Structures are given as C-alpha cells and as structure tokens.
Structure 1
Amino acid sequence: MVTTAHFFDDAPRKVSRLEDITLADIPAELGLFPLFGTLLLPRGKLPLNVFEPRYIALIEDALAEQRLIGVIQPFNDLEDDEEIDEVPHLFEVGCVGRITSFSERQDGTFAVTLTGICRFRYLRESLGQRGYRRARIDASAYAGDLDEIPSAPFDRDLLMTSLKGYFEARGMGVRWEVIDQMADDALLVALPMICPFPSPEKQALLEADTLTERARVLQSLLDLSGSGDSTVRPS
C-alpha cells in the first residue's frame, strides 16, 4: 500500500491485535498479491518468500500502515501464458491477509507469514504507484469471517478416508498425527490450503458460503480426484 500521511478523522485506526480487527478496519482499497493456485482462508496461515521488487514494495507499504494485503488468484499462471505481457484477470473473491510475522534478509527480500482475516470481493483495479496491483474491494458480505465460528458438523471419518486415498494416489507423505490432532474447524481451514487442487477448485473452496458448504466441496473434490476423473468439476 502506498504510504500517505493521515490528516482526516476517518483514517484507518492502528490495530495491534488480530482479535481487535473489525469490518471498519478493512480498507476500501488494498494492495494485491496475486498468487496462482494458492489459497488463503480466514484464520489460515500462509508463508511467503517475497523477492520480486514490486512485491517487496507491497510488503514495505503494508508494514508502514495496517499490515494488510489482498491475496487473490489470477485466472491463469502468467508464466505459462503465451501473452506474457498481458495483465492476468483476477477472480472476483480474495482474502485479506495480515502480516503476522516477517524477517528481512540482507538482500532486502522478505520472509513473511500472512494470517487470513476475511474474504473480500474485488471491485475494480485502481492506480498503483509502486509497481504492484491495487484494487477497490468490498468485504461487507463477509463480515461473518471476523467472528469465531463453531465447527460445522460433518463426517470426519469419511473425509479422512478420502484424504488418505487422495494423498496416497499422489505419493505425498503426510504427518497424520498432526492432522488427527486438529479440531474440525482448523481442519477445514488447513486442508483446502495444503491440498494441491487446481486453481478453480481452490476458488470454489474459498467462495463456499459456510463451513458446512466448504466441507461438502472438499469432500466432493477429494472423491472426484480419488476416482481419477479430472473432467468433473464442482459447481
């Protein structure tokens, strides 16, 4: 975010703790970190290695203000896009993340951890001055993300069975003792973020209205992936 002096009473207040953040603290305009195939959910933690100059500028500006960044997926991976100079279109929904830990290396790059705060709807691009993308956003429809939400009832045993089949089919090693110890609500945050689903499926998990719906989408994705059917996609 571009650092500016605040002279007006409606300037965003400084918030020191995550639990103190309210909808009024989410700015109407936010610097964006477009990440293809990467998901940040409310209460999730996303470690990032930041080395591109424009995103170093984004981190510097965010640290100077509210430490808030908008994480959002592009439609396409720009590195694989033939139109390499074209600015990729973005999905309509992303997640506000707050920098909750960071370290700056001697070469000026950063290692940061973002904690998901709440989702937002991308409205339109705004003019940036430091190379990274900025946008007008609206988080009002996702105010519930800021509240403590009790875990939704779902068939955990069925989900774990499908998850084991999914990981085994891909030869992925998993520390099952860590997953087994997770509470249901934590599991519904961690699994969508760590499972290597394609970008549209990740977006479907992000846009699920409730934890119950997220659990349903996750179960569907695991079952479809385990069946080897790559042509079927959840609505």
Structure 2
Amino acid sequence: MKELPENIPLFPLPGALLLPNSRLPLNIFEPRYINMVEDTIATKHRLIGMIQPIKINKGKFQSDSNKYQRVGCAGRIVSFTETGDGRYLITLEGVSRFNFKNEVEHEKPYILSHIDWGFYKNDLVPFEDINGFDRNGFLEILKKYLDSAQIASDWEVLKKAKEEVLVNSLSMLCPFEPEEKQVLLEADTIKKRLDVLVTLMKLSSENDLESQYIQ
C-alpha cells in the first residue's frame, strides 16, 4: 500500500464496474478525460480511479464530489491507442479498491481525488480458491440467467475460467443496475461477491419469467 499514491484522477462513470485483477476497456472522448489520460500515462503509477456517481431524481446524476459512492476501484492503464479522431482507447487493469475521501484542488479540468487504500489490503493478496464452490450448480444458474436475458456467451470459455476470473468478469459484464454493481464492488470477499452475483442472476431470471406470463 505504501507504493500507491494518495491522490489519483477520478473517472465517475454510471454502470461501469472495475474489480481488482480484472480488465476494463474504455473509450475516452471527452476533452477533460482525454487530458486525464494523457497526464496519467506520464505518471509512474498510471492509475485512474473508477467510481459510481449517485443517482438522483429523474434518473440524472450529480456531478459534484459529494455525490459519488464512497468506494471505487483504481485501475492501471496497461494499454492505450490514440484514434484518428482524437479519442483514446484504453484498458485498465484493476489494482485495488479505495475509499473516496475528497476532491483535491488543481488546475486541470478533470477530478483529482484524495483516497484511502487501507480498508482493502487483501486486494493485493494472491487469490485463493473459493471454498465449496459448486461450479456445476453455478453454471446452471448462469445458463438460466443468460438465456432469460438473451445474452450470447462463449460457453466453453465460461466452463474453463478460473473462479476469480469467472465471478469478477460476470460481475463487470452482466447488465445489472448501477446500485447492484456497487454492491458487487463492495463485497468483502470473492465468496460474498459470488453470493451477491448468484442472487442477482436468480432475481433477474425470475423477473423475466414473470414478465413473460404477464404478457
């Protein structure tokens, strides 16, 4: 934790979830975030903090620093490409979650944040297998969810994926609500994240089935 900076740029993006040891591709096109990427690439740590803005009435999102979720995840830029029209295509690799403390005043247009890494030391510890993980049972629940949501998938890849990769990738990729993604992010352990993921998939499958009967 000592090597991680206390201040990092913040990228508030509704519905985008980054988890430790996972990768998130991003298309950067707003001028202030292009500036952020260029400045971050020039740093030693290359870290950007992904965080959810809190939804307010009428589906809008607050933009000031007091309206962010308190927990985010920092990712290191591991690849970037500049497009012909001035955008950046970047990939973040999740390093660790953090607690957002406050904004830091600076001259640039993007958000610089003061953060605390201390609660998430285990994010830097090598992953251990999930005790009692029932892969076949999980895949059965997953298949029902994917079928009900009409989501295409590479089933052979899912069958062979390591437990952490499977749970984290699905948590990031499945089209859950931002609030649900936040619960997945804040799960203390990979086992608790698995439990939340299973619950969300079951609820979604049941709701889809009910809507079919109502129609």
Instruction: Mark yes or no: TM-score above 0.5.
Output: yes
The one of 100, 103, 109 equivalent to 2:78 is 100
Which residue in the other structure is 1:34 paired with?
12
- d(CA) in 2 for partners of 1:131, 1:68: 17
Amino acid at match of 2:116: D
C-alpha displacement at 1:78, in angstroms?
A: 11
Amino acid at match of 1:161: E
- d(CA) in 2 for partners of 1:78, 1:194: 26
**Superposition RMSD in Å:** 2.0
Identity among equivalent pairs (%): 41
Q: Does 2:31 align with 1:53?
A: yes
Q: Does 2:130 align with 1:152?
A: yes
- d(CA) in 2 for partners of 1:196, 1:78: 21
Amino acid at match of 2:161: M
Amino acid at match of 1:105: T
Q: Does 2:37 align with 1:63?
A: no
Kept in 2, the 8 Å contact 1:151–1:211? The answer is no
- d(CA) in 2 for partners of 1:78, 1:151: 41
Structure 2 residue matching 1:94: 3-state secondary structure:
strand
Amino acid at match of 1:118: S
* Structure 1: runs of 5+ lacking an equivalent: 1-22, 230-235
Which residue in the other structure is 2:212 paired with?
none
Which residue in the other structure is 1:12 paired with?
none
- d(CA) in 1 for partners of 2:117, 2:58: 30
When the two structures are aligned, how many residues end up with a matched partner?
205
* 105-114 or 71-80, larger mean C-alpha shift: 71-80
Which residue in the other structure is 1:121 paired with?
99
Q: Does 2:127 align with 1:162?
A: no
Which residue in the other structure is 1:87 paired with?
64
C-alpha displacement at 1:173, in angstroms?
A: 1.0
The one of 189, 205, 209 equivalent to 1:226 is 205
TM-score of the superposition, structure 2-length normalised?
A: 0.89
Q: Does 2:184 align with 1:196?
A: no
* Structure 2: runs of 5+ lacking an equivalent: 209-215
- d(CA) in 2 for partners of 1:41, 1:67: 16
- d(CA) in 2 for partners of 1:151, 1:129: 45
* 126-135 or 38-47, larger mean C-alpha shift: 126-135
Q: Residues 96 and 78 of structure 1: is their aligned pair in 2 closer, same or farther, counting only changes over 3 Å?
A: farther
C-alpha displacement at 1:80, in angstroms?
A: 4.7
* 125-134 or 170-179, larger mean C-alpha shift: 125-134
Deviation by residue 1:182-226 (Cα, 9 ceiling, x = unmatched)? 011211211101111101111111100011111111111111111
Structure 1 residue matching 2:68: 3-state secondary structure:
coil
TM-score of the superposition, structure 1-length normalised?
A: 0.82
